[in-house]
Structure 1
Amino acid sequence: MSKGNLVTSLRCRSRARPMDRYDRLPPELRRWVANAALPWSAASVLRIWSRLHLETGGNVELVLHRLDQAERRMLTRDCRQVWGETYDGVGG
């Protein structure tokens, strides 16, 4: 069997499976993601979690509150893009 293009000096990308990344999230963050309204990727939510964890001095309750706020902002933005600037979040 020829290796053809399989031989390269380039570094390989990590091929971690998405569920493995999810399983490695902190337990509190896994619970939050499981109940989130948006489909967060483990990588993106962990990046935000880490930043907020530093900003809040490790206050998990405050980090989760700030994640809720971020998700609400994203939902509001998405709703306005779909239904227009007059969308008020009531009734659609």
Structure 2
Amino acid sequence: MIATACTIALGVIGVAQLMNLYRLAVGPDVTDRVLALDTMVINAIALIVLVGILYGTTMYFEAALLFAMVGFVTTVAFCKYLLRGNVIE
């Protein structure tokens, strides 16, 4: 039963990734593209966690945690660059 739920969730999150990819490519503004990129990071984290649940190993959860930290830092850096024009003050 859990394998079926994970398979359905993988498909739904895959569709969400494609929708975010469309918003990233067509987004009317740079801020929309940054938001789409951040949402893609969140969806990728969800995919990694689902694969970890499906395979029953904890290695994927650690990878998802690292990916979340890197995604947060890159989102903050993009936003700082858009607001101020530089990242490091």
TM-score category, normalised to shorter length: 0.3 to 0.5
**TM-score scaled by structure 2?**
0.35
**TM-score scaled by structure 1?**
0.34
Larger radius of gyration: 1
Structure 1 or 2: more helix by fraction: 2
